[in-house]
Amino acid sequence: MALSGTLPRIKDPAEIERILQENNELKRQIAGGGGSTSYQIPYEELEVQDQIGGGGFSLVYRGFWRGTPVAIKKWFDPNHSDQMVQEFREEVMTLAELRHPNVMQFLGACMKPPQLAMVTEHMPFSLHSVLYGGQVDLDKRKIVAMAQDIARAFIYLHSRRPAIVHRDIKPANFLVDRAWKVKVCDFGLASNSKAQAGAGTPQYMAPELWENSHYNEKVDVYAFGVLLNELIAREPPFSGVPLLEVLSDIIKRCWDGTSSARPSFLQISELLKEAAKSL
Ligand SMILES: Nc1ncnc2c1ncn2[C@@H]1O[C@H](COP(=O)(O)OP(=O)(O)OP(=O)(O)O)[C@@H](O)[C@H]1O
Ligand SMILES: [Mg+2]
């Protein structure tokens, strides 16, 4: 008997996505829950210096790995509960697979409790510090160029199978270098297989996340619209500052209450290219 005759035919895209995710989870478990040995870093090779961020279950430090400046994200639940260790592993395994100029570069990780740490390239600024930290001049061209960087990162993330939905787009989760290049960081929510639909940062959450209903990568498009508006207004979301004319159409389309009506990041990238020409 032909094998195809014995297999159920699956047509529902949501079902296919679920099976793909299960398959991915299995692969992770087979990897031993410890991650590939190729990227494990002995904790003794790290020189941890001053704290630069963090909250929740992790703190981020500046430091050195064998003489190279790096960022070190340490998980610190003193009990090292199974759930915390699992969340750490999921975040490491998500980031370890990503390679893109606009995604924070993973370098390695200390995977042996109680020393759980993720080592990445160090970036001098966060988008939050650029927006609110001082007298940084942000003209229209810089705003559009930064938006392009973000759109490129998300074309990449959303085109992976299964798609990586970040779910926590906000200024603190983007890093900026001295040439104004922007990179996305913090895959805590993206990788957390137990995270509730309702988890996230309220001002950036699409309506479908509030309803705890089914959602997809278009929740990132909605949050990007909020962020783009914030880049222009330089005030926390929804403070009523008028939109920059050339970008107002993009922002409104990202905010569509119907997720399927929102543009993809590929379309957003094209729209930004057009906007850049008119500046
Ligand atoms: N590679 C890096 N270079 C410079 N600063 C960084 C880097 N990674 C993180 N940071 C700083 O640390 C802050 C917190 O990092 P991150 O968002 O990964 O952790 P978190 O918000 O505590 O994570 P979670 O929400 O998953 O607990 C960032 O907002 C940023 O200011
Ligand atoms: Mg964060």
Q: What is the pLDDT of residue 170?
A: 97
Indicate the CATH number for domain 13-18+36-121.
3.30.200.20
Average pLDDT over residues 78-105: 91
User: Which residues, listed in sequence order, are joined to residue 183 by a DSSP beta bridge?
Assistant: 175
Based on the number of CB atoms within 10 Å of its own CB, is 202 exposed (0-12), middle (13-18) or buried (19 or more)?
exposed
Please check the confidence at residue 28 and state whether its pLDDT lies above 80.
no
Q: What is the pLDDT of residue 81?
A: 83
Q: What is the pLDDT of residue 240?
A: 60
CA dist 174 and 196 (Å) reads 22
Residue 14 has phi, psi (to 5 degrees) of: -65, -40
Ligand 1: which residue has its CA nearest to atom 5?
Answer: 123
Q: Evaluate whether 162 touches 20 at the Cβ level (below 8 Å).
A: yes
Binding site per annotation, positions for ATP: 74
4 band by pLDDT with thresholds 50, 70 and 90: very low
CA dist 186 and 177 (Å) reads 16
The pLDDT tens digits for 162-201 are 999 999 999 999 999 999 999 999 999 998 877 777 788 9
3-state secondary structure 7-42: CCCCCCHHHHHHHHHHHHHHHHHHCCCCCCHHHECC
Ligand 1 and 54: CB distance under 6 A = yes
Please check the confidence at residue 31 and state whether its pLDDT lies above 90.
no
- CA trace torsion 119, 120, 126, 127 (10° rounding): -130
Q: Which residue has the tokens 């990227």?
A: 39
Please check the confidence at residue 33 and state whether its pLDDT lies above 80.
no
> What share of the chain has pLDDT > 70, as a percent?
89
Q: What is the pLDDT of residue 236?
A: 72
Report which of residues 18 and 136 the model is more confident about. 136
- Ligand at minimal distance from the CA of 190 is 1
Nearest to 232 by CA among 155, 167, 141, 135: 141
Q: What is the pLDDT of residue 20?
A: 77
Q: How far is the CA of 53 from the centre of ligand 1 (A)?
A: 6
Q: What is the pLDDT of residue 27?
A: 57
Indicate the CATH number for domain 125-277.
1.10.510.10
Catalytic residue list: 168
Q: What is the pLDDT of residue 1?
A: 40
CA dist 173 and 201 (Å) reads 11
- Ligand at minimal distance from the CA of 57 is 1
AA identity, residue 137:
D
Q: Evaluate whether 65 touches 119 at the Cβ level (below 8 Å).
A: yes
Ligand 1 mutation pick, 185, 187, 227, max ligand atoms within 8 A of CB: 185
Binding site per annotation, positions: 74
Q: Evaluate whether 129 touches 76 at the Cβ level (below 8 Å).
A: no
The pLDDT tens digits for 245-271 are 779 899 999 999 999 999 999 999 999
Atom of ligand 1 nearest to the CA of 122: 3
For helices 245-254 and 218-233, angle between their N-to-C axes, nearest 10 degrees: 150
> Which ranges of 65-139 would DSSP assign to H, the alpha helix?
82-96, 127-132
Which residue ranges make up each domain of the chain?
13-18+36-121, 125-277
Ligand 1 mutation pick, 174, 186, 191, 201, max ligand atoms within 8 A of CB: 186
Ligand 1 and 56: CB distance under 6 A = yes
The pLDDT tens digits for 225-242 are 999 999 998 877 766 655
Ligand 1 and 259: CB distance under 6 A = no
Ligand 1 and 110: CB distance under 6 A = no
